[in-house]
Amino acid sequence: MRKLVLLLIAAISLAGCKKNDPYNAQKQLEADEQLIKAFIAEKNITNAQRHASGMYYVITSPGAGNFQYTQSSGVQVKYKLRLLNGTEIEQPTDPVCLTLGRVIPGWQYGIPLIQKGGKIRLLIPSVYAYGPNPAGAIPANSVLDFDIEVLDVSTQPCTN
């Protein structure tokens, strides 16, 4: 009986020491980068460039102009969103206006790389998207694959 009590106390003590792995953004970014590199190789994307943030992008058309983006810039866009496994996520069919400072960090890094009329593909690590939080049909820790076309830009934030 005494051994059973000691075993029970030891089990309870060990269970109390067990901690859930906290979200580690740097570790997740490293894992996402490996997924993105494998995706680029598998899809034979030869012109992908790595942004200093760790996001990858392909500019298919730079657009025209010299607009200086800020966090309050309004950007009218069309976009398509996929997960790396090819699953298309529902998106608006009509253009949408978004304020740059109110979108995911991956867009804040990627949109300023092009001008009005420009098109870009962004491969966004989960830490610059929704991180460990699922968002609708987007699972937690998902790398996002966006095709974005900038239709218009404004110094004024969007009002929607």
Q: Average of pLDDT values for 35-62?
A: 96
Q: Distance between CA atoms of 8 and 12, rounded to whole angstroms?
A: 6
Q: How confident is the model at residue 18 (pLDDT cuts 50, 70, 90)?
A: very low
Secondary structure of 89-143 as H, E, C letters:
ECCCCCCEEEEHHHCCHHHHHHHHHCCECCEEEEEECHHHCCCCCCECCECCCCC
CB 105 within 8 A of CB 135: no
- Binned at pLDDT 50, 70 and 90, residue 21 comes out as low
**Average pLDDT of the residues in 11-17:** 40
Whether pLDDT at 3 is above 60: no
What number is the average pLDDT over the span 38-42?
Answer: 97
CB 98 within 8 A of CB 77: yes
pLDDT of 15 above 70: no
Break the chain into its structural domains and give their ranges: 22-154
pLDDT at 20: 58
Does the domain at 22-154 match CATH 3.40.50.10710? Answer given as no
- In the structure, what pLDDT confidence band is assigned to residue 23 with cuts at 50, 70 and 90? confident
CB 88 within 8 A of CB 37: no
pLDDT reported for residue 6 = 32
Is the model's pLDDT at 17 over the cut of 60? no
| pLDDT per residue as tens digits for the range 68-114 | 999 999 999 999 999 999 999 988 889 999 999 999 999 999 999 99
pLDDT at 13: 39
**What is the maximum span of the chain, computed from C-alpha positions, in angstroms?**
81
